[in-house]
Amino acid sequence: MPNYRMDRTGEDIMRELTAILRTVKDPRVTGTMVSIVRVDVTRDLSYATVYISSMSGIEAAKEAVKGLKSAAGYMRRELGLALKLRHTPELRFVADNSIEYSANIAATINRISKEVSHDEDN
């Protein structure tokens, strides 16, 4: 299967899972702002690894992963209904700290730029 098709399928799964994520009622998922960072799909479409991140940090993402693992059957069924795939992949959820990491980088850049502009003013 061509690589661009795998990328497109991964993007389709990510888009649909983002919509399905809003319907999950588990308090571990709804308690924090959780987002799907990326989705990696195996070549045979049997597994989809879904990377979850939270603004509240890696611990909140790990709690959300626990809630998503318990809702995986529901999400897989909804994904199968939304996408017309011959085989709906099994969902694997992994906590990721990329949102927290990028927020820290942005804060560091802002702090440095303020220090530089303050030094230039003096």
Q: What is the pLDDT of residue 5?
A: 74
Q: What is the CATH number of domain 3-97?
A: 3.30.300.20
Residue extents of the structural domains in the chain: 3-97
pTM of the model: 0.78
Q: Which of 8, 16, 2, 3 minimizes the C-alpha distance to 91? A: 16
* pLDDT tier, 122 (very low <50, low <70, confident <90, very high otherwise): low
> Buried b vs exposed e over 67-103: b needs ≥16 C-beta within 10 Å?
bbeebeeebbebbeebeeeeebbebbbbbbbebbeee
Residue partners of 52: CB distance under 8 A and separation at least 6: 34, 35, 36, 37, 61, 64, 65, 68, 93, 94, 95, 96
Mean of pLDDT values over 3-14: 84
The confidence score (pLDDT) of residue 105 equals 87
> pLDDT tens across 10-39, in order?
899 999 999 999 888 888 888 788 889 999
Q: How deeply is 32 buried, as exposed, middle or buried, from its count of CB atoms within 10 A (0-12, 13-18, 19+)?
A: middle
pLDDT digits (tens, 9 = 90+) for 61-113: 899 999 999 999 999 999 999 988 888 999 999 998 877 777 788 889 988 88
